[in-house]
Amino acid sequence: MSEFMDAAIVTAEKTLQILEEEADILRRFGSEELHELLPRKQELLRELHGRMAPLKLMKSKGQINGDDPARKRLRSYIKDIRRLNEANRVFIEGTLSYWREFLDLFRSSSAYGPWPQHAARQTTPVKGLAFSREA
């Protein structure tokens, strides 16, 4: 049991470290660094998930003590991983929303795109008006 727990703890530590690195990259808007980091993050998350499966089975069979310090440590890491991953997700969604709204400003004020409903203006109908030419 100890070897499974130790391996899961090491993977959780690496995952937490990469999530902290991701948060730093996101704050600096380092898109190239982020593209390099994401495959490593995904691999670590898959590995962590795989390492948790035998531990869950052992727990269901009563082979893991709930008061085990290693188990508490792993649970703390998992909690931190979820918290940091969620914070990174919220940051990404907020950033995307900001840029989407920013770009919509250009699209909606353009002569090539429709005005959004809240910015629509009432125009005078053209029917019945005449244009004249000056000589």
Tell me the H-state helices in the chain: 2-28, 31-60, 69-109
The tally of domains found in the chain comes to: 1
Predicted confidence (pLDDT) per residue in 21-79, tens digit: 999 999 999 989 999 999 999 999 999 999 998 888 888 787 777 778 888 999 999 99
In a domain, 121, yes or no: no
Range of the domain at 63: 2-113
CATH number for the domain including 86? Answer: 1.20.58
Report how far residue 57's alpha carbon sits from residue 63's, in angstroms, rounded to the nearest whole number.
9
Report how far residue 11's alpha carbon sits from residue 80's, in angstroms, rounded to the nearest whole number.
13
In a domain, 106, yes or no: yes
Is the CB of residue 37 less than 8 Å from the CB of residue 22? Answer: yes
In a domain, 82, yes or no: yes
Per-residue pLDDT band for 112 (boundaries 50, 70, 90) equals low
In a domain, 119, yes or no: no
In a domain, 104, yes or no: yes
In a domain, 62, yes or no: yes
